[in-house]
């Protein structure tokens, strides 16, 4: 039976911004990677210099000022950051008295092949591992991601350890031309990894010029990304064949998604943004803290909204005119 859920996000006025009260905070640990995906957004806009001291100060400030619900660790590939475990330890300290639901590691998983490394990750503040994996054919996946990615057996083994620690694991797949771009391919992917993780999530690849870039990555994504309509058509056909569990028209008023059961495997379909209901310069569902310590609402490490918003916030709090819209 299909269940329609209305997801109501409240926004707080903070200076010129309207900020979600269930905010996602992306921690962009680094910009290096042991893979080289041709579509990677992180190749274009995250080449921030490291400033660990400022990063620590601004992480603490960010958590004090905003209502962060989930923290997502990414990069580049965060696991290759020499400060990876130091940063996790610091994070554990600063979220101690905060109501954070999930600390999610988004990773290509390559370093998790190492048992000691995996154990350290599972003993850390991380509650969920989101593994990026593009194609069920291992050789094809290696070709796309340009790295020695995990095999199905390795993923299964990691999942066993993850479950033993009462943590969760998901595979994230990007849908684009010649990669999971038909109902048959989506089904094959789910069948291949059925039971290897808690959830499999399909998201459309996005043209990186949406983030104001002009380079090789942008050229590639312009060639291979499916349109909103193509994604919708593909997903709708897939949904029709399976059991719909949950349907959400607009997370943050922006991104629709559907949740399915496919042969008992939980699957999430993330659509492309359908409408520009909000002025994204003002409405903030997600913030990004870069390794240089800048806090931005965009894929732009040079932008830092922290100081201005903090000033405004203090004024608003003092005047008690915080408004919910």
CB of 175: closest distance to ligand SF4 in angstroms? 14
Of 176, 158, 170, residue with least CA distance to 131 = 170
Give the H/E segment covering residue 145. Answer: helix 138-145
> x/- contact string, 85-114, with ligand SAM (CB under 6 A)?
---------------------xxx------
3-class SS at 183? helix
3-class SS at 71? strand
Decide: is 273 part of the binding site for ligand SAM (CB under 6 A).
Answer: no
CB of 223: closest distance to ligand SAM in angstroms? 12
Decide: is 40 part of the binding site for ligand SAM (CB under 6 A).
Answer: yes
Site for ligand SAM, residues 219 to 248, rule: CB under 6 A: 221
CB of 35: closest distance to ligand SAM in angstroms? 7
Give the H/E segment covering residue 64. Answer: helix 52-65
Query: Measured between alpha carbons, how far is residue 186 from residues 135, 210, 273, 319 in Å?
Result: 10, 25, 20, 53
Decide: is 208 part of the binding site for ligand SAM (CB under 6 A).
Answer: yes
CB of 34: closest distance to ligand SAM in angstroms? 9
Site for ligand SAM, residues 116 to 155, rule: CB under 6 A: 132
What does the alpha-carbon distance between residue 166 and residue 309 come to, in Å, rounded to a whole number?
37
**Which of 44, 62, 79, 108 is close enough to bind ligand SF4 by CB under 6 A?**
108
What does the alpha-carbon distance between residue 208 and residue 214 come to, in Å, rounded to a whole number?
8
Counting residues that bind ligand SAM (by CB under 6 A) gives 18
- Contact partner at residue 84 from ligand SAM, ligand SF4, none, CB < 5 to 8 Å by partner kind: none
**Please, which residue, 42 or 268, has the CB nearer to ligand SF4?**
42
Decide: is 291 part of the binding site for ligand SAM (CB under 6 A).
Answer: no
Q: Are strands 17-28 and 11-14 parallel, antiparallel or unpaired?
A: antiparallel
Nearest to ligand SAM by Cβ — which residue?
A: 132
What does the alpha-carbon distance between residue 247 and residue 24 come to, in Å, rounded to a whole number?
20
Counting residues that bind ligand SF4 (by CB under 6 A) gives 12
Task: Specify the residue for token string 């056909």.
Answer: 237
CB of 220: closest distance to ligand SAM in angstroms? 9
Neighbouring residues of 85: CB distance < 8 A, sequence distance ≥ 6: 120, 124
3-class SS at 245? strand
- Contact partner at residue 206 from ligand SAM, ligand SF4, none, CB < 5 to 8 Å by partner kind: ligand SAM
What does the alpha-carbon distance between residue 137 and residue 129 come to, in Å, rounded to a whole number?
21
- b/e sequence 167-187, b meaning 16+ C-beta within 10 Å: bbbbbbbbbbeebbbebebbb
Decide: is 181 part of the binding site for ligand SF4 (CB under 6 A).
Answer: no
CB of 47: closest distance to ligand SF4 in angstroms? 12
Decide: is 35 part of the binding site for ligand SF4 (CB under 6 A).
Answer: yes
CB of 155: closest distance to ligand SF4 in angstroms? 15
Helices 152-164 and 183-193, packing angle to 10 deg? 60
Site for ligand SF4, residues 37 to 96, rule: CB under 6 A: 37, 40, 42, 75-77
> Which residues sit at the interface with ligand SF4, rule CB under 6 A?
33, 35-37, 40, 42, 75-77, 108, 132, 145
């Amino acid at each position: 039976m299909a269940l329609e859920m209305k997801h109501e996000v409240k926004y707080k006025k903070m200076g010129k911004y309207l900020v979600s009260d269930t905010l996602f905070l992306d921690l962009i640990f680094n910009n290096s990677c042991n893979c080289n995906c041709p579509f990677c957004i992180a190749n274009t806009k995250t080449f921030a210099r490291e400033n660990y001291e400022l990063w620590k100060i601004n992480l603490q400030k960010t958590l004090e000022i905003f209502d962060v619900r989930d923290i997502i660790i990414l990069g580049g590939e965060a696991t290759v950051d020499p400060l990876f475990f130091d940063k996790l330890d610091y994070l554990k300290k600063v979220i101690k008295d905060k109501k954070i639901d999930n600390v999610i590691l988004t990773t290509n998983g390559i370093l998790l092949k190492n048992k000691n490394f995996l154990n350290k990750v599972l003993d850390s503040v991380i509650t969920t591992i989101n593994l990026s994996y593009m194609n069920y054919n291992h050789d094809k996946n290696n070709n796309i991601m340009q790295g020695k990615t995990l095999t199905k057996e390795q993923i299964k083994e990691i999942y066993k350890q993850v479950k033993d620690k009462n943590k969760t694991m998901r595979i994230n797949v990007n849908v684009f031309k010649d990669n999971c771009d038909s109902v048959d391919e989506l089904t094959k992917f789910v069948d291949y990894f059925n039971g290897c993780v808690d959830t499999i999530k399909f998201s459309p690849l996005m043209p990186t010029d949406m983030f104001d870039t002009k380079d090789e990555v942008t050229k590639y994504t312009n060639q291979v990304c499916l349109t909103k309509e193509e994604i919708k058509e593909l997903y709708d056909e897939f949904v029709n064949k399976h059991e719909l569990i949950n349907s959400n028209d607009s997370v943050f008023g922006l991104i629709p998604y559907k949740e399915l059961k496919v042969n008992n495997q939980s699957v999430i379909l993330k659509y492309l943004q359908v409408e520009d209901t909000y002025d994204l310069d003002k409405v903030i569902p997600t913030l990004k803290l870069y390794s240089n310590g800048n806090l931005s609402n965009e894929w732009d490490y040079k932008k830092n909204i922290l100081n201005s918003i903090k000033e405004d916030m203090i004024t608003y709090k003092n005047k008690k005119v915080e408004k919910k819209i």
